Each structure stands twice: as structure tokens, then as C-alpha cells.
């Protein structure tokens, strides 16, 4: 199942029905699982147990799956004659998220496109991570509002506005409980304001929010969002803990559940810190390159068979070039790792035997003067292309490196230096005579 392809909702519903039949947990029962997978925190690190997680899924795709399963949990436990997909489309129409127009009426606006628009933020990858995180932390409001829509049939938009206003006040109160705000906290406040669909600058006061909470589930969600907002540096400050305990008590939540909420957010972010780009130590540019390579690798893995077939039937040639030691200036311009704990003893010994040198300048001279001449390397590559070779090995050392990687995948870097000295001495270093 590809959550970015057409028909994914029908496929997901068939998976649910085939494995679980008519039995499906209620939203109250599913709530703790939604929290564990990160749906409530806006960082979906995995899918709910109803669907087998796939390493190829993006965070947006996991979010789609978890959101739909939450909607289905609501639908399956509320009596209604309307089909599941139609009821969700009607719900989004009711809250003015879906606008009817001539094109949509003619072509048909399906649930897949609506959910995509709800989750998809923008195409600017430099700001997408943060806005995605904030907006999707509020997606559970849609789920609660959908339950309200099916049960009450009216005033759904008012319910949504009240929930968003309550969250705005509580999250800001939680952040204000910190003794010192970080740039993360200030960005969170700004993006929270921009992510609210019905933000009219008329947020409620604390007492009004407490009095207006309509269900235990709503109270739990408010507390978990406050915990998420307060968390930082792998711990809670005393003032933050006091605020969360007071909020939980005012929301009539037991001390055991309050402690569980605080502990769960700590465990979640501590465990998944490296998976959540917002909380990792990488800067925006690093995230850009990581995301770019991730997207390319996922596209290739998902479409490898089709790509292979298309390329095989086309006139496009693809070659994988394995370069050995080519005498270039690459070492001159390279960054050198000078940490002693990363030096390979075998490489160091071989380096001394064949006279590589110890400084970068000495190593650069050795590398340039003792490698295969670039003219010979280019000749090997061009001949390989003309013969349509899939893999082109430039030099005997390239073949030996490939072999050692296959035979000793975990230790090839220790084995390969054994071949370095004879190959360096025997290599033809002269340029080609054209």
C-alpha cells in the first residue's frame, strides 16, 4: 500500500476489515496508541498496529494512515447510515475546509485529496519540517470534531473554534511557565498562531477553558499538548511540572494519568530525538540535504522495477563507475580528520612503508604522483561506455576493493590496505600517448 498513490484509502480499509472484521477499538481505547506513535505530538514515527509499518513511509504518509485509522475508530463506534468516506467529506464541508465549486463537482473531490491538503503544508522544504510538526500536532482536533459531528450533527464549527482557542491559551500558558524561553519556544508560539484555522485573536481565559471541557478525552489531549509544549532539554523544570500538575488537577485528571502524560512525552522525545528533525542538532541546510537524499532513495526503492524496465527498453545507458587510485588533486582540497582515535593502525603502518608522509601536503603529493594518470582512467571509462558495461572498474585496486567489500563487509577497510603497497609500486603512472 502506497499512501501517496491513488486508492490507498480503499486498500487500507480492506486491510482493516480482513484482519479485524467489524471489531475496532473506540477512540478512547486508541488514544494511548496514538500518543505512543507520535500522532498527538505531530511527529509520526510509526503507524498504529493495525497496519504494518514500512521504512519507506514518509512522516506525511504515516500521518495520513494514523489520521484515517483514528477517524475510522470514531466512525465504527457511532451509529450512522452514511458511508465512511462520504461522512468524512461531509464533515470537512461542514467545517468549511472543503469548498464546493464547478470543477470539484464535475471531477469529484475525493477523501484522499482532502486529507492530502489537510496534512500537506507547503513545498518549501526549509520551513516544512517545523510547520508540519505544529499543524499536525493539532490534527486530533479534527478527530474529536468528527466525533462531535457524527453524534451532535450541529455546531461542529463552533466546537472546533472553541478547541483551537483553548489549545492556544493552554500552550502559551505552558510555555510561559518556563523560567527561560528558547528560540524554539518563540517559534512554536508563532507557528501555533499561524496553524490555527479559526484564529480570531479572541482566545479564552484559563478558567473558561476548564469549565468548557466536554469530555475526558478532550482533557487528556489538552494535557498532552501542554506536556509536549513544555518539554525541553530532556527534562521538565520545577515550574513546568507544577503547572502541568495544576492543569491536570483542574481538568479533573487523576495524579496517575498526569504522571503518565509527563513520563510518556519524556520517553517519546528521548527515544526518538534523532528521528525528529525539529529536535535533532542538525541545522536547516543539513535537514534539506538529508530530506533530499531520503526522498530520492524512497522514489528509487518504490519504483525500481518500473525504472529498470523503462530504462531497459529505452536507449539510455547507465554505468556504475568504480574508481581506484587516480592521480588527482583531490587530497589537496580534502578535509582531513586528524583525530588520533580514528587512525587505522594498518593504514598508518603501510603509509610509513611506502612513504605517504604525515602532513596533508605530503599526502597530496604522494596521492597525485602515485595514482593512475587521469588520461588512462578516462580511457578505461570511455571504453566501458562503448562496450555498454554495467560496471566499470578503473584499475586493479578498484576490483580488489569491490571484492574485499563483498568478502569482508564489516572489516574491508582493515584488509584492503594489505594490497596498497604492491599496487602502488606496480601501477603504471605514465599518461597515455595519444
Q: How far apart are CA 54 and CA 248, in angstroms?
A: 36
3-state DSSP call for residue 137? helix
125 alpha carbon, distance to own chain's centre: 12
Mean per-residue pLDDT over the chain, rounded: 77
Give the range among 22-26, 132-136, 203-207, 384-388 with minimum mean pLDDT: 132-136
Give the cell for residue 252: 479533573
Judge whether 332 and 404 are in contact, CB under 8 Å.
Answer: no
Burial class (CB in 10 A: 0-12, 13-18, 19+), 52: exposed
- Quick: pLDDT tens for 257-271: 999 999 999 898 888
Taking the model in full, what pTM does it have?
0.63
Q: In the block, which residue shows the cell 466546537?
A: 159
Most confident of 17-31, 315-329, 342-356: 315-329
Structure confidence by residue, pLDDT tens digits, 180-203: 666 666 666 665 555 555 555 455
Query: Nearest-CA neighbor of 347 among 419, 401, 408?
Result: 419
The rounded distance, in Å, linking the Cα atoms of 188 and 229 is 8
| pLDDT tens profile 364-384 | 888 888 888 999 999 999 999
pLDDT > 50? residue 105: no
For residue 378, what pLDDT is reported? 92
- How far is 411 from 418, CA to CA, in rounded Å? 12
pLDDT in tens, 267-309: 988 888 777 655 444 433 344 344 445 555 655 665 676 677 7
Determine the 3-state secondary structure of 427 from DSSP: coil
Q: Coil, helix or strand for 239? A: helix
C-alpha cell read off for 116: 492530502
Taking the alpha carbons at both ends of the chain, their separation in whole angstroms is: 56
What per-residue confidence (pLDDT) applies to 434? Answer: 64
- Residue 26 above 90 pLDDT? no
Amino acid at each position: 500500500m502506497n499512501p501517496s498513490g491513488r486508492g490507498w484509502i480503499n486498500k487500507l480499509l480492506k486491510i482493516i476489515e480482513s484482519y479485524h472484521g467489524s471489531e475496532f477499538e473506540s477512540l478512547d481505547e486508541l488514544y494511548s496508541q496514538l500518543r505512543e506513535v507520535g500522532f498527538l505530538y505531530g511527529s509520526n514515527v510509526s503507524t498504529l498496529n493495525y497496519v504494518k509499518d514500512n521504512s519507506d513511509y514518509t512522516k506525511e504518509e504515516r500521518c495520513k494512515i494514523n489520521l484515517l485509522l483514528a477517524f475510522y475508530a470514531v466512525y465504527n463506534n457511532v451509529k450512522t447510515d452514511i458511508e465512511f468516506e462520504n461522512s468524512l467529506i461531509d464533515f470537512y464541508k461542514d467545517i468549511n475546509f472543503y469548498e464546493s465549486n464547478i470543477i470539484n463537482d464535475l471531477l469529484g473531490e475525493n477523501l484522499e485529496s482532502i486529507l492530502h491538503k489537510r496534512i500537506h503544508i507547503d513545498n518549501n522544504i526549509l520551513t516544512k519540517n517545523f510547520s508540519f510538526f505544529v499543524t499536525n500536532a493539532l490534527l486530533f482536533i479534527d478527530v474529536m470534531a468528527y466525533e462531535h459531528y457524527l453524534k451532535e450533527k450541529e455546531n461542529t464549527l463552533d466546537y472546533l473554534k472553541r478547541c483551537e482557542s483553548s489549545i492556544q491559551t493552554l500552550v502559551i500558558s505552558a510555555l510561559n511557565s518556563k523560567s527561560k524561553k528558547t528560540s524554539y519556544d518563540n517559534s512554536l508560539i508563532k507557528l501555533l498562531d499561524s496553524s490555527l484555522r479559526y484564529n480570531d485573536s479572541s482566545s479564552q481565559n484559563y478558567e473558561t477553558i476548564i469549565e468548557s471541557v466536554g469530555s475526558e478525552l478532550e482533557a487528556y489531549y489538552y494535557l498532552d499538548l501542554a506536556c509536549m509544549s513544555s518539554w525541553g532539554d530532556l527534562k521538565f523544570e520545577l515550574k513546568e511540572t507544577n503547572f502541568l500538575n495544576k492543569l491536570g488537577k483542574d481538568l479533573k485528571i487523576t495524579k496517575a494519568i498526569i504522571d503518565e502524560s509527563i513520563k510518556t512525552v519524556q520517553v517519546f522525545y528521548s527515544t526518538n530525538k534523532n528521528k525528529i528533525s525539529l529536535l535533532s542538532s542538525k541545522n536547516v541546510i543539513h535537514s534539506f540535504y538529508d530530506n533530499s537524499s531520503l526522498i530520492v532513495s524512497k522514489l528509487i526503492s518504490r519504483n525500481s522495477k518500473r525504472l529498470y524496465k523503462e530504462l531497459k527498453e529505452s536507449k539510455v545507458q547507465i554505468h556504475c563507475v568504480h574508481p581506484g587510485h587516480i592521480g588527482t588533486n583531490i587530497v589537496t582540497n580534502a578535509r582531513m580528520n586528524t583525530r588520533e582515535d580514528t587512525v587505522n593502525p594498518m593504514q598508518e603502518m603501510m603509509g610509513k612503508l611506502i612513504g605517504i608522509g604525515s602532513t596533508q601536503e605530503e599526502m597530496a603529493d604522494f596521492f597525485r604522483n602515485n595514482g593512475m594518470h587521469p588520461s588512462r582512467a578516462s580511457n578505461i571509462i570511455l571504453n566501458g561506455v562503448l562496450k555498454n558495461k554495467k560496471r566499470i572498474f578503473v584499475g586493479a585496486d578498484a576490483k580488489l576493493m569491490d571484492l574485499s567489500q563483498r568478502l569482508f563487509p564489516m572489516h574491508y577497510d582493515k584488509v584492503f590496505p594489505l594490497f596498497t603497497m604492491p599496487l602502488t609500486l606496480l601501477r603504471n603512472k605514465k599518461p597515455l600517448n595519444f
